């Protein structure tokens, strides 16, 4: 199944979704923090928990994001992700 | 003397590692020119080697206070610089940790890698080849379980060898030279981690525990319940448990002072030593139980990994006021005492958020205000327990609201700027280390005594002196009573008359002292609030400690104590101004209450604010706006009540 081309915010996904980071539409400071924790450009991540906080796993790092931040992190969802 | 910098990501067990290497003799201090704390200690069995625990950081790209300290330690040559760098890696989280390692290797210093948490990696089904990693990085790699001291000996020897040799390895062959982006470094780190790690199918099973606990602790309802239970426990420990050693300290020092009173010849020297100095030291040491207990418990909570989740629980509420979720522990703690509360603001990662929290923490109604609340509310609502209860709750609410509102204002004005976004690493849950917690408690206690403690002793002595001098002689009324007592037939009457005489002398001494005179002089300033000179003296003396207000008013009342709070309240209710009218009219009692809720009347707290913020400016700001707000609120209260006919 082809990947959906349209980037969606993390808040649109269900727990368990495996996706690839497309773009974080956040301020510079926030982007730097995300990259420092491992969320570099085009990195793969898994959504562990949606809601507030939103919890994602990048490689072996678990990261908690406030809903406000998660709603601005856009990912390319794969075949396993589904709309709520 | 060789200097070793211990660098690594947060949550790599670096604290445990440092404690294992040299914890028993470590010192906590601020990195020069910053308010970032670092710990330094001599390496066990290699006293000439000093280890500096650099605060955890994720990489050397990202501009944070921790990065500046790390750069400072790495860049500086000779004094202040690092001769050897020990990079602590989390074996269960290798890729991200290797990013920092890659950056550090580019500094061309002798490096030893401490591959920690091998037990955690094993439980996750990850088998790491330390030798292979050593070959890839070109530096010694020592596998460790720091918490159980496995591998510590080897690490110590490797550090000593590196310090002696001073040999610098070449950069890893596959690490490109020059300034690298995080993306390039991550790619390299991923390649290295993959090459040295063997994953087994058990990996998924371990993570399910973490998932379940996270689901619980961040659940909107269950998470909040768990949070409330844990925070109540924390608060109970600080409020009740710490009271035991605090009472003990006061009793012991009290006994010691009495001993000195009887042992030394009467005179100013005895007074200075027994009341001034011993009182001063007691007034400082009494803070230790709460500080040590708080840091002990926070260390345990942080070690378990729970605090990171707890920060999210509160973030929704506190972020409306410009404060981070992390601010909850300092603000809650400040309801017991603002001093440990302000010190615990170190938990807050963002400097601006930390500053805002420190500045508003004293608004939280601390336990020292309780005796004052009890007194003033009893004066206001003598026979109305319902209203008294409501008034009590209202005081706490007023304090907390004023604090949150002030934080909101500060974040929009004086402390305007970008706050750190609510993005946190959620470390693995693990069993906390009691050793780490004990050492942290000890270090913080000692750091407090060394810095703020010395200033607080000085303040206590000065405040004592202001109330004790100048000496006034016995009053004529007291002498008359003593003469009467000498002629009395019954022992009971003699005792009663002598007590009365002493009380009259005490009142005269308080009124005639520098503190008393100051009260007279500044009374016009407090006149619009309905305060007379006696109440003003009470305000002045309570700048050392708020609870002193009750004893000052009691002394100024001048009557004989019949024991018990009821007696004190009734006597103070009957206090009269110079013109014969009551001191504590309802309007005055209410405005005094409002004043105490909001005013900054704790010089020890100001001292700690100065120390934690690194600047007198913030302590002055705290004093200024709290006093200003208290004055205005008390003024409005008094005027409104008087206008409404409540006199």
- Percent of chain B residues topping a pLDDT of 90: 52
pTM attached to this predicted model = 0.87
Residue range B260-316, pLDDT digits in tens? 989 999 888 888 888 888 888 888 898 899 999 999 999 999 999 999 999 999 888
Tell me the chain A residues in contact with residue B220 when contact means C-beta distances shorter than 8 Å.
Answer: 51-52
With b for 16 or more beta-carbon neighbours within 10 A and e for fewer, the B224-238 pattern comes to bebbeebbeebeebb
Q: Searching chain A, which residue's CA lies closest to the CA of residue B183? A: A40
pLDDT digits (tens, 9 = 90+) for B57-95: 999 988 888 888 898 888 875 565 788 999 999 999 999
pLDDT surpasses 90 at B417: no
First to last CA, chain B: 73
Place of tokens 């016995």: B474
Mutate to test the interface with B, among A55, A63, A67, A68 (most CBs of B within 10 A): A55
Q: What is the mean pLDDT of chain B?
A: 89
Give A63 to chain B, closest Cα distance, Å.
5
Q: Name the band, by pLDDT with cuts 50, 70 and 90, for residue A39.
A: very high
The distance from CA B222 to its chain's CA centroid, rounded to whole angstroms, is 29
Among B346-350, B431-435, B624-628, the range with the most confident prediction by mean pLDDT is B624-628
Q: Cα separation of B208 and B468, whole Å?
A: 66
Please, which residues have CB within 8 angstroms of residue B467's CB and are 6 or more apart in sequence?
A: B510, B513, B514, B515, B516, B541
Mean pLDDT of B387-393: 91
Cα(B114)–Cα(B8) distance, integer angstroms? 10
- Helix or strand or coil: residue B329? helix
| pLDDT tens by residue, B472-485 | 888 898 899 899 88
In tens, the pLDDT along B337-372 reads 999 999 999 888 888 899 999 999 999 999 889 989
Give the integer Cα–Cα distance in Å for B110 and B107: 9
B120 and A CB contact within 8 Å: no
Q: What is the reported pLDDT for B647?
A: 64
pLDDT at A84: 45
Report the gap between the CA of A31 and the closest CA in chain B (Å): 9
In B319-423, where does DSSP find H-type helix? 328-333, 338-343, 351-360, 370-380, 385-412
- As a whole number, mean pLDDT of residues B150-165 equals 93
Partner A, chain B 363-392, Cβ-Cβ below 8 Å: none
Amino acid B546: pLDDT:
86
What pLDDT, on a 0 to 100 scale, did the predictor assign at position B504? Answer: 87
Q: What is the ipTM of this complex?
A: 0.91
pLDDT, residue B474, reads 86
DSSP designation for B241: I
User: Above 80 in pLDDT, residue A45?
Assistant: yes
Nearest to A62 among B99, B316, B425 (CB): B425
Q: Which residue has the higher pLDDT, B246 or B24?
A: B246
pLDDT of amino acid B609: 95
All residues of chain B having their beta carbon less than 8 Å from the beta carbon of residue A48 are 211, 214
A66 contacts B315? CB cut-off 8 A: yes
Q: What is the pLDDT of residue A81?
A: 43
CA distances from A68 to A11, B53, B207, B316, B350 (A): 9, 34, 26, 10, 18
Rounded mean pLDDT, B184-189: 91
Between CA B443 and CA B452, with CA B449 as vertex, the angle to 5 degrees is: 115
Q: Cα separation of B126 and B147, whole Å?
A: 19
Residue B165 confidence (pLDDT) above 60: yes
Give the per-residue pLDDT at B189: 93
Cα of B397 to nearest chain A Cα, Å: 27
Question: What's the rounded Cα separation, in Å, for the pair B590 and A38?
Answer: 56
């Amino acid at each position: 199944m082809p990947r959906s081309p349209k980037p969606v915010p993390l808040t649109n996904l269900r727990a368990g979704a495996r996706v690839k980071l497309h773009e974080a539409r956040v301020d510079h400071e926030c982007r730097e923090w995300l990259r420092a924790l491992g969320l570099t450009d085009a990195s793969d991540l898994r959504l562990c928990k949606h809601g507030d906080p939103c919890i994602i796993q990048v490689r072996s790092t678990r990261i908690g994001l406030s809903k406000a931040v998660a709603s601005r992190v856009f990912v390319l969802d794969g075949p396993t992700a589904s709309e709520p | 003397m060789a200097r070793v910098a211990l660098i690594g990501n947060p949550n790599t067990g670096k604290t445990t590692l440092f404690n294992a290497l040299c914890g028993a003799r470590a010192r906590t201090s601020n990195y020069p020119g910053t308010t970032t704390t670092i710990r330094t200690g001599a390496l066990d069995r290699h006293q000439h080697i000093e280890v500096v625990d650099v605060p955890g950081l994720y990489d050397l790209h990202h501009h944070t206070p921790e990065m500046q300290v790390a750069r400072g330690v790495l860049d500086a040559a000779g004094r202040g610089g690092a001769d050897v760098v020990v990079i602590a890696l989390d074996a269960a989280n290798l890729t991200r940790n290797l990013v920092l390692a890659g950056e550090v290797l580019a500094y061309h210093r002798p490096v030893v890698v401490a591959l920690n948490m091998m037990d955690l990696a094993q439980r996750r089904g990850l088998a790491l080849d330390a030798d292979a990693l050593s070959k890839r990085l070109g530096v010694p790699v020592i596998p460790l379980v720091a918490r159980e001291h496995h591998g510590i000996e080897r690490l110590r020897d490797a550090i000593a060898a590196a310090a002696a040799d001073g040999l610098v390895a070449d950069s890893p062959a596959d690490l490109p030279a020059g300034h690298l982006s995080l993306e390039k470094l991550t790619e390299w780190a991923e390649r290295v981690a993959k090459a040295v790690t063997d994953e087994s199918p058990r990996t998924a099973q371990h993570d399910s525990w973490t998932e379940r606990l996270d689901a619980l602790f961040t659940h909107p309802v269950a998470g909040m319940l768990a949070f409330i239970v844990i925070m109540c426990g924390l608060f109970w420990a600080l409020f009740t448990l710490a009271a035991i050693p605090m009472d003990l300290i006061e009793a012991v020092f009290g006994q010691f002072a009495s001993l000195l009173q009887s042992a030394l010849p009467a005179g100013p020297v005895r007074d200075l030593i027994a009341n001034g100095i011993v009182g001063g030291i007691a007034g400082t040491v009494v803070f230790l139980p709460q500080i040590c207990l708080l840091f002990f418990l926070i260390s345990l909570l942080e070690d378990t990994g729970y605090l990171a989740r707890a920060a999210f629980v509160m973030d929704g509420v506190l972020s409306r006021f410009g404060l981070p979720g992390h601010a909850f522990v300092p603000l809650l703690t400040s309801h017991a005492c603002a001093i440990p509360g302000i010190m615990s603001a170190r938990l807050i990662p963002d400097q601006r958020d930390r500053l805002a929290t420190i500045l508003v923490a004293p608004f939280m109604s601390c336990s020292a205000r309780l005796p004052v609340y009890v007194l003033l509310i009893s004066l206001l609502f003598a026979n109305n327990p319902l209203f008294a209860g409501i008034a009590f709750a209202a005081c706490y609410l007023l304090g907390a609201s004023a604090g949150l509102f002030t934080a909101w204002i500060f974040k929009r004005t004086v402390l305007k700027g970008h706050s750190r976004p609510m993005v946190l690493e959620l470390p693995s849950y693990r069993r906390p280390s009691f050793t780490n917690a004990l050492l942290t408690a000890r270090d913080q206690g000692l750091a407090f005594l060394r810095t703020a403690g010395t200033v607080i002793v000085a303040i206590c002595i000065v405040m004592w002196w202001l109330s004790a001098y100048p000496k006034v002689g016995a009053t004529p009324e007291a002498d008359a009573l003593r003469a009467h007592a000498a002629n009395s037939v019954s022992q009971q009457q003699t005792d009663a008359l002598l007590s009365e005489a002493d009380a009259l002398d005490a009142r005269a001494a308080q009124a005639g002292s520098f503190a008393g005179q100051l009260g007279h002089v500044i009374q016009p300033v407090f006149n619009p609030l309905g305060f007379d000179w006696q109440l003003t003296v009470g305000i002045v003396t309570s700048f050392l400690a708020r609870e002193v207000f009750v004893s000052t008013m009691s002394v100024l009342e001048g009557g004989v104590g019949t024991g018990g709070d009821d007696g004190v309240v009734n006597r103070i209710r009957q206090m009269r101004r110079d013109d014969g009218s009551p001191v504590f009219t309802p309007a005055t009692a209410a405005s005094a209450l409002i004043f105490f809720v909001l005013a900054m009347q704790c010089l020890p707290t100001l001292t700690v604010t100065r120390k934690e913020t690194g600047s007198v400016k913030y302590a002055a700001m705290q004093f200024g706006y709290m006093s200003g707000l208290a004055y205005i609120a008390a003024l409005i209260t008094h005027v409104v009540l008087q206008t409404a006919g409540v006199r």
